[in-house]
Structures are given as structure tokens and as C-alpha cells.
């Protein structure tokens, strides 16, 4: 049984907008955001299109010019001079232009709501995967909320207002984006910016999960909510790492592996316990489900933003994200392309940065000591294309990778919003904490290591 739906529209309001446009209010209507989607009536839409043609040619937008433009039309249902006169009659006082524009906007939004509802009804009968259907429905509804809650008029003016504020903040020394907690990195990136998809790549066991966890914990301890999707570690493992990093203790070696005697373990536990309260309060929202698809990640992320005002999403890692039902039989590089495209869309949709960890191919090991290239990204191509920023974590000198502290290089190999660069970081292995190599307490052992390097090369 078919159902007939009444499409929301107000022809009188649409005529009023046309009448106001040809009586001197065209610029105000365009600034408000009026476009052809505001016109359901076919003749009103065609008159608006004729008005746009007049404006693009540099002709005056007036009653006479529009009448002349429509007078030569001989198609059925084309507007005529009578329709132009009807529009003028519908707006006898052009000061009422805003009233008619708001009426048209109200009906346009109502049509969007109806269209979304019909699409959801249609997809519910054809979808084979309930999880993907729910995620898709949430995406549509979220987009709809964004559409109907955001002022549609003068978006460009609002954009310049935000741009000026960002420039003023930068001039006054304030980061344009969310700080990572590593000043040298922030000086290159300007912080993590809304809408950016950032890829952090490394070979296994180099420390990409550790540095991602460090960024999350440092932001959360400052009160910035972070969402963390882990495909390799449980929430307990991630929390243990964060506790070791924040409390400056080796909980795994000293406590779990009983590397210290009773008194030593008590001292370590006491030191760590003082950080537990702060970490418990820190807004890090961890999901450790290794079977999530990119659509399900997007669904969870929307809820995190809505319920907890999350400002950063981290995915560990991209190549482990499960393909959706529609992508499961496709080639691997197409599955990765669907994932990276979905994560970039997520960043744009929510207006927050998304960090995706990625694994480098074995070619990076065969070229040990050489700067990684974007072509070394496993199942690359889409990763290179969709990412706004690509960073490589690697070891420039293998001799620096030996010992409790490791000297690593973080290379920014792609940056759409700024310059490229390199920074030196030290991974304190037993505490899973990254620190800048320029910190004074690293000076002595780094000098020794560098002297040994010079001696070997000499």
C-alpha cells in the first residue's frame, strides 16, 4: 500500500521572496542564504534562477528586467509576466522581505526532515546489517541537527569572524588548535585543529600507541575530553600505561613483575596512588572493542561529542578497523580507503581533530636509519590522500634504540596547514612516556650516546 505525503511548502512566501528580490532586496536575500532549494514551486524556482542569471551578467535585478527575461519562454509551466506581477503583488512592502525569507527557510528545513525520514524508512527495509543501519541513521540525524540548528545566513561572514579570532589568538601567543603537550610539535602544527585527520605512523613496538596515550592523558588532565578507540589493548592496559606515565613509575616492572622488594613496591604503589584520583577524573573515554567498523566508530564518536563534549578522537590503529558488510569482499586497499575516508568525514562532521595511528610496511625496516616515506604506509594511497597531517615516528640511529631510554625522531611528512619538520623525542620505555629530547635531564646520556656515535663513524 503506497502512502502519499504532503510536501511542506508556502507558495505565497516564495512569491514574496521573488517580489522583494526584484524590488531592491536581492543582496539582502542572498546574504540571508536564499538559494534555489528554498523554492518548492517550479515557477518560483525558475524565476529565482532567471534573477541569478541577470545578476551574473551584470544586469539590474528589477521588475522590468525579470519580465523581459521570462517573456521569451515558451515552455509549458515556465513563468510568465503574470507570475512576476503576482510576486510583486505578494510583497507590497519590501521591508517585509525577512518575514518571507524566514517562512521559506522554515519550509525548506521541514522538507529536509521529511526527506531524511523517508530515506530511513526505505533503507530499513533493504539493510542486511542492523549495526550499520543504526550508524547510518545516526549520521543522517546528526547531519540534520547540524543543518537545522546552524544559521544559514551570512555563513561567510561568520567564517571570517572565526578566522580573525584565530589570527588574533595566534598573534597573542595562543595555540590555534588543541595542544598536544609537546611544545616542539605544537610549534610546527599550531596544535590539532578541528576537521583535521592526522595520521601517526610507525613500525610495531616503536611507540605510536604510547605517544597517542600521552597526548590523551595530557589533554584530559587539563580537562579536555578525549575519545580513544583501541583495537590492540584493553582499557585496563591503557589505564596502566597512563598511570605509569603520569606517576613517573615503572608499575609493570616494579609491581607486576615484582622487580622490587616489599618496601620498594610499597613506595612505588604509594607514588602511583597519588595520581589515581586525578586520572579517574580525567575525561578519557576508552572503547576497546576490536570488532568496530568505521561507521560504528562514527556512531560512538557522535555520542561522545554530544554527551561528553569530546574534543579529540584517537583510533589505534587504522589498519585494524573492521570493514563494513558492503566492503568485506572488496580488495584490501579499497577497505582501507573506506576507513580513511570515513575518518576524514568524521573529523569534518564533528569539527574536531581525529588522530589515526597507522603501521608502516616492512620496507621501513629494510631502510633502517632512513627517513620514512608516505609510500611506506601499509595499504597506503588513501591514507596519503585523506590525511591532513602525516607524522612518522622512527629511529634515526639504531644505537640510540638500545637501553631504558630511546631517542626517536618525529617527522612531519605532510602538513596541509603549515610547514614540515622534525623533532627529537625520548621514549622512557619503562614508564611509557615520551619527553622532549631538549629537557635538561636527558642532556647527559644523550651526549654520551652521541659521542659514541661520532667515535663509531670516525
Instruction: Please state the three-class secondary structure of 108-136 as a single string.
Output: HHHHHHHHHHHHHHHHHCCCCCHHHHHHH
pLDDT at position 152, please? Answer: 46
Look at 285 and 383; give whichever has higher pLDDT.
285
How confident is the model over 33-46, as pLDDT tens digits? 899 999 999 999 99
In tens, the pLDDT along 394-453 reads: 887 777 766 678 888 899 988 988 889 999 898 888 888 898 888 888 877 778 777 777
In the prediction, which pLDDT does 139 show?
67
User: Residue 66 in contact with residue 84, Cβ under 8 Å?
Assistant: yes
Over residues 148-198, the pLDDT tens digits come to 554 444 456 666 677 777 777 666 766 668 899 899 998 888 889 989 999
pLDDT score of 153: 46
352 neighbors 312 (Cβ within 8 angstroms):
yes
Alpha-carbon span 246 to 18, nearest angstrom: 63
96 vs 90: CA distance, rounded Å: 10
CA angle 292, 297, 301 (to 5 degrees): 150
* pLDDT surpassing 60 at residue 15: yes
Q: Please report the pLDDT score of residue 330 as a whole number.
A: 74
Closest CA relative to residue 422, chosen from 175, 178, 185: 185
Q: Above pLDDT 90, what percent of the chain?
A: 29
pLDDT of residue 416: 87
Q: Which of 63-72, 134-143, 195-204, 310-319 has the lowest mean pLDDT?
A: 134-143
Measured in whole angstroms, how far is the alpha carbon of residue 137 from the centre of its chain?
Answer: 19
Cα–Cα distance, 338 to 382 (Å, whole number): 8
Number of other residues whose CB lies within 10 A of the CB of residue 365: 11
Query: What's the confidence (pLDDT) of residue 151?
Result: 43
Nearest to 144 by CA among 175, 169, 118: 118
Question: In this structure, are strands 421-428 and 405-415 parallel, antiparallel, or unpaired?
Answer: antiparallel
Residues carrying CATH 1.10.860.10, the chain: 11-123
CATH 2.60.40.10 correct for 11-123: no
| Nine cell digits for residue 127 | 539493510
Task: Answer whether 177's CB lies under 8 Å from 192's CB.
Answer: yes
What percent of the chain is predicted at pLDDT more than 70? 84
Average pLDDT value for residue range 270-291: 85
C-alpha cell at 332: 584490501
pTM score, two decimals?
A: 0.69
Flag whether pLDDT at 21 surpasses 50. yes
Own/partner contacts of 321-327, CB < 8 Å, gap of 24 or more, are 321/231, 321/292, 321/293, 321/294, 321/297, 322/290, 322/291, 322/292, 322/293, 323/293, 324/129, 324/132, 324/293, 324/294, 324/295, 325/128, 325/129, 325/132, 326/132
Can you read off the three cell numbers belonging to residue 310? 569530546
Higher pLDDT, 4 or 244: 244
Alpha carbons 312 and 218: distance in angstroms, whole number? 12
**What distance in Å separates the CA atoms of residue 348 and residue 139, rounded to the nearest whole number?**
12
Question: What values do phi and psi take at 409, rounded to 5?
Answer: -110, 135
Where do the CATH 3.40.50.300 domains begin and end in the chain? 178-457
Beta bridge partners of 202: 359
Number of Cβ within 10 Å of residue 423's Cβ equals 19
Q: Give the Cα separation of 426 and 422 in Å (integer).
A: 13
- Supply the CATH classification number for the domain 178-457: 3.40.50.300
Rounded to an integer, the average pLDDT of 235-249 is 86
Tell me, rounded to whole angstroms, the distance of Cα 138 from its chain centroid.
17
Match 566492503 to its residue by C-alpha cell: 327
Amino acid at each position: 500500500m503506497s502512502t502519499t505525503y504532503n510536501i511542506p511548502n508556502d507558495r505565497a512566501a516564495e512569491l514574496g521572496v521573488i517580489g522583494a528580490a526584484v524590488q531592491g532586496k536581492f543582496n539582502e536575500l542572498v546574504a540571508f542564504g536564499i538559494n534555489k532549494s528554498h523554492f518548492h514551486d517550479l515557477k518560483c524556482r525558475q524565476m529565482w534562477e532567471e534573477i541569478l542569471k541577470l545578476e551574473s551578467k551584470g544586469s539590474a535585478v528589477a521588475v522590468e528586467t525579470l519580465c523581459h527575461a521570462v517573456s521569451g519562454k515558451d515552455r509549458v509551466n515556465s513563468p510568465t509576466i503574470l507570475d512576476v506581477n503576482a510576486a510583486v503583488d505578494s510583497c507590497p512592502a519590501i521591508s517585509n522581505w525577512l518575514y518571507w525569507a524566514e517562512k521559506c527557510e522554515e519550509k525548506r528545513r521541514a522538507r529536509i526532515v521529511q526527506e531524511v525520514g523517508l530515506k530511513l524508512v526505505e533503507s530499513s527495509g533493504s539493510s542486511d546489517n542492523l549495526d550499520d543501519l543504526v550508524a547510518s541513521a545516526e549520521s543522517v540525524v546528526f547531519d540534520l541537527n547540524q543543518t537545522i540548528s546552524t544559521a544559514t545566513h551570512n555563513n561567510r561572514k561568520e567564517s571570517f569572524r572565526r578566522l580573525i579570532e584565530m589570527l588574533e589568538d595566534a598573534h597573542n601567543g595562543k595555540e590555534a588548535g588543541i595542544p598536544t603537550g609537546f611544545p616542539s610539535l605544537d610549534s610546527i602544527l599550531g596544535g590539532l585543529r578541528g576537521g583535521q585527520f592526522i595520521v601517526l605512523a610507525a613500525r610495531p613496538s616503536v611507540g605510536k600507541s604510547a605517544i597517542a596515550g600521552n597526548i590523551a592523558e595530557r589533554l584530559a588532565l587539563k580537562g579536555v575530553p578525549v575519545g580513544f578507540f583501541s583495537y590492540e589493548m584493553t582499557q585496563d592496559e591503557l589505564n596502566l600505561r597512563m598511570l605509569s606515565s603520569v606517576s613517573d613509575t615503572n608499575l609493570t616492572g616494579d609491581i607486576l613483575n615484582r622487580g622490587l622488594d616489599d618496601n620498594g613496591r610499597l613506595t612505588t604503589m604509594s607514588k602511583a596512588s597519588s595520581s589515581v584520583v586525578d586520572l579517574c577524573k580525567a575525561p578519557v573515554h576508552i572503547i576497546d572493542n576490536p570488532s568496530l567498523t568505521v561507521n560504528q566508530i562514527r556512531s560512538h564518536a557522535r555520542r561522545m561529542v554530544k554527551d561528553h563534549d569530546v574534543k579529540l578522537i584517537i583510533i589505534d590503529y587504522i589498519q585494524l578497523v573492521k570493514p563494513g558488510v558492503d566492503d568485506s569482499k572488496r580488495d584490501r586497499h579499497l577497505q582501507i580507503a573506506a576507513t580513511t575516508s570515513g575518518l576524514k568525514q568524521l573529523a569534518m562532521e564533528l569539527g574536531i581533530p581525529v588522530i589515526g595511528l597507522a603501521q608502516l610496511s616492512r620496507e621501513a625496516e629494510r631502510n633502517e636509519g632512513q627517513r620514512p616515506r608516505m609510500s611506506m604506509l601499509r595499504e597506503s594511497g588513501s591514507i596519503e590522500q585523506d590525511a591532513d597531517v602525516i607524522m612518522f615516528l622512527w629511529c634515526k640511529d639504531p644505537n640510540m634504540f638500545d637501553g631504558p631510554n630511546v631517542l626517536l625522531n618525529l617527522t612531519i611528512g605532510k602538513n596541509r596547514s603549515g610547514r614540515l619538520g622534525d623533532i627529537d623525542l625520548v621514549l622512557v620505555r619503562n614508564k611509557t612516556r615520551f619527553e622532549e629530547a631538549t629537557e635538561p635531564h636527558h642532556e647527559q646520556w644523550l651526549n654520551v650516546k652521541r659521542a659514541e656515535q661520532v667515535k663509531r663513524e670516525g
